Amino acid sequence: MTTSSSSPLGLHRVIDPPGVLPQAAWQLDPTPAIAADEVRIRVDRLNLDAASYRHLRETYAADPDKIRAAVREIITTRGKMQNPATGSGGMLTGTVEEVGPTSPLGLKPGQRIATLVSLTLTPLAITDGLSRWDTHSEQVPCEGHAILFARSIAAVLPDDLPVPLALAVMDVCGAPALTQRVVKRGSTAVIIGAAGKSGSLSAVAARQAGAAKVIGVVPTEAEAELLRNPAATQSSLVDEIVIADARDPVGLAKKVEEAGGPADVTVVCVDVPGCEGGAILSTTQGGTVIFFSMATSFSAAALGAEGVAADVTMLVGNGYVPGHADLALNLVRTTPALRALFERRVRHEGGQP
C-alpha cells in the first residue's frame, strides 16, 4: 500500500463518513500495509481513558467477559478504540515495526514508544482477543498493530522509568504543561482532583510556575492523605487541602475560600460530570478555569459562568502542548512525592510500576 496519496492527517484511512478527520470518523481502516509517510507499531498495551474505562465498568457491572467483549467489539467495528458513549479513547505503547521512507516522526524500527495522540484517531487492530486483560485496570495488555500518520505524536519511552509509570505520566502530560503556561508567579491555584494523575502533576506544575499558594481539592479523607504524604515522604504536594464534593458549587466555593481562595487559576482534573459550576464559583473575577476532564459539558460551562455573572476565562484543556511529555516526566523525576503518588496509583490500577 506504500502510496503517495496519503494525507499527513490520516484522511486516507477514514472509511465512514468519508472526508472527515480520523477522530470524527465512525470507522477507520487499520490495514497493516503502510503509506510512505506512515509508521506501523506492534502494540503491546492500551491505556484506556479514565472516563471510558469507568463507563465500561459501570455499564457491564465490572464483569470481565462482558467488558472484554465490549472493547473487542468497539475495536473490530470502528477500526480504533473510541468508546461511543464517552467519545474518548486513551493511548498505547508498542514497538516500532516499519517506518515509511517519508515519515517525519524520526522513529526507528525496534524503538519502544508511546503514542501521544488519542486512540480515538489511531487505526488499530487486535489479534489476541484481549485474553490477557483481567479488566481490573485501564491498562490493557494486548497484541495487535496500530498506524501513525505524518502528523501524529509519539514519544520514545525513557530508559530510567518503568514503562507503566512513564505511560501513566504521558497519558495526562497535557495538563501540567498547560497549567504551567497559564499560572503566573505569586498567584493562587486550585486543583480539583489534586490526588489524581493529571491533578497531582498539575499541582506540582503550578508550584513550579511560581504559584504562591496551591490548594488541592479531593473528595475524601483517604485522597487527602495521599496528597499529604504520598508514601512516607515528608513533603505535601499542595499548600492547602480541601475535602469537598466538586459537584456542589456552593459548598466547594465556600471551602475553597476558607482555604485561601478564590483561585486565580482553577484546574479541573476530575472525570465526573457536573464540576463546571463549582470551578467557576471558586475562581476570582478575571481568573481562569482550565477544564481537563472529558466529562466537561460545554454548555454547562458557558451558561454557568454567564448565570453567575462570572468574568472568567475558560479554557478547553488541549492535550497537546509542545514538549509536554518531557515536562511531565521531569516533574516526576524531580519530585519524589509526586513519583511516590504515581507509583501508588499505577500499582493500585494493577500495573507494575
Q: Which of 47, 93, 103, 118 binds a second copy (CB under 8 A)?
A: 118
| Residue 272 within binding range of a second copy, rule CB under 8 A | no
| Residue 89 within binding range of a second copy, rule CB under 8 A | yes
Q: Which of 303, 347, 348, 352 binds a second copy (CB under 8 A)?
A: 303
Whether 292 contacts 321, CB under 8 Å: no
Would you give the binding string for a second copy spanning residues 134-163, x where CB under 8 A is met?
-----------------xxx----------
Cell of 119: 486512540
Sign of CA dihedral 85, 318, 169, 337: negative
- Backbone φ and ψ for 31, nearest 5 degrees, come out as -45, 130
| Residue 274 within binding range of a second copy, rule CB under 8 A | yes
CB of residue 340 vs a second copy: minimum separation in angstroms?
28
Would you give the binding string for a second copy spanning residues 32-71, x where CB under 8 A is met?
----------------------------------------
Whether 278 contacts 249, CB under 8 Å: yes
Would you give the binding string for a second copy spanning residues 156-195, x where CB under 8 A is met?
------------------x---------------------
Report d(CA 224, CA 237) in Å as an integer. Answer: 10
CB of residue 108 vs a second copy: minimum separation in angstroms?
20
CB of residue 260 vs a second copy: minimum separation in angstroms?
22
# of chain residues touching a second copy (CB under 8 A): 58
Which of 141, 133, 136 shows the shortest CA–CA distance to 347?
Answer: 136
Q: Single out the segment in contact with a second copy by CB under 8 A; choices: 203-211, 224-232, 249-257, 327-335.
A: 249-257
| Residue 104 within binding range of a second copy, rule CB under 8 A | no
| Residue 310 within binding range of a second copy, rule CB under 8 A | yes
| Residue 314 within binding range of a second copy, rule CB under 8 A | yes
**Cα three-residue angle 296-69-117, rounded to 5 degrees:** 45
CB of residue 35 vs a second copy: minimum separation in angstroms?
17
Which of 300, 107, 268 shows the shortest CA–CA distance to 182?
Answer: 268
DSSP 71-85: HHHHHHHHSS---TT
**Cα three-residue angle 2-8-13, rounded to 5 degrees:** 65
Report d(CA 134, CA 82) in Å as an integer. Answer: 20
DSSP 170-201: HHTTHHHHHHHHH--TT-EEEEETTTSHHHHH
| Residue 196 within binding range of a second copy, rule CB under 8 A | no
- Backbone φ and ψ for 26, nearest 5 degrees, come out as -75, -40
| Residue 267 within binding range of a second copy, rule CB under 8 A | no
| Residue 315 within binding range of a second copy, rule CB under 8 A | yes
CB of residue 289 vs a second copy: minimum separation in angstroms?
8
Consecutive H or E run containing 335? none
Residues in contact with a second copy by CB under 8 A are 7, 9, 11, 19-24, 86-89, 116-118, 120-121, 151-153, 174, 248-251, 274, 277, 281, 291, 294, 296-322
